[in-house]
Structure formats: structure tokens, C-alpha cells
Amino acid sequence: MTVSKGSKVLVFYDKEHPEDLTKLQQMELSTVEKELKDREIPYKVLEQMSDTVEKGYLISTNKADTSEPGELELVVSTGIPDNWAVVPDLTNLSEKEAISALEDAGLEAGVISIFPAQA
């Protein structure tokens, strides 16, 4: 986030490269909210589950910065629920490799079904 002393404009990401949200996703919601409140900039917070962005950090915004007109929406990560597991990609693994990958992730294989490849 770029903040100039006394400036009302907060920059979330580069307008020229909106696909790069790396810096945005390192912004903690509580810090951004303080900056917005200090500048009296209205905003709305939306929550979204993410397994790639840490809980409490921004995933995205609907604007590159606060100079753009309209309501600002901040999408914040809720992380993933404690009772969820991230299943590893088992594509193109042998049965033995797939079971090993599941076990390495703290999971266990259930019923295994094999489907013939479609031509």
C-alpha cells in the first residue's frame, strides 16, 4: 500500500498491472481499515475463503486506489476452516504414489476406483 503523508489516496495495486496482486495480498485488513477510517474513506468488507491468502489479509479490491469513484470493496481472506484439508494433486500418479501423497498430507485413502482413460 502506498500512502503519502496527508494524502487521501491509498494505492492497492498498479493500474497498469492489475493481474499482480502480490503487494495487495500482503496487506492486513486491520491496517487498511485504520488508514481508510483516518481518511474518512467509506468501504465495505466482503469475506472469502482462501487457501492461498492468509486469514485477515486482503485477497482483492474492486479498485486500484481510493481516487476512483464509487464504493470501495475489500475482499478479505477467512483462510480455510480448521476441519478442512487441502488435498494434494494426484493427477498422473500411480496408486502407490497417490496413497503416499495423501498420507504425507495427513489424509488416508478410502475406496479406490479406477476409470479407463477416454480416447
* Residue type present at position 118: Q
The pLDDT tens digits of the residues spanning 52-92 come to 999 999 999 999 889 888 899 999 999 988 888 888 999 99
Would you state the pLDDT for residue 118?
A: 72
Would you state the pLDDT for residue 78?
A: 95
pLDDT at residue 6 tops 70: no
Q: With cut-offs at 50, 70 and 90, classify the pLDDT of residue 4.
A: very low
Cα separation, 13 vs 23, whole angstroms: 7
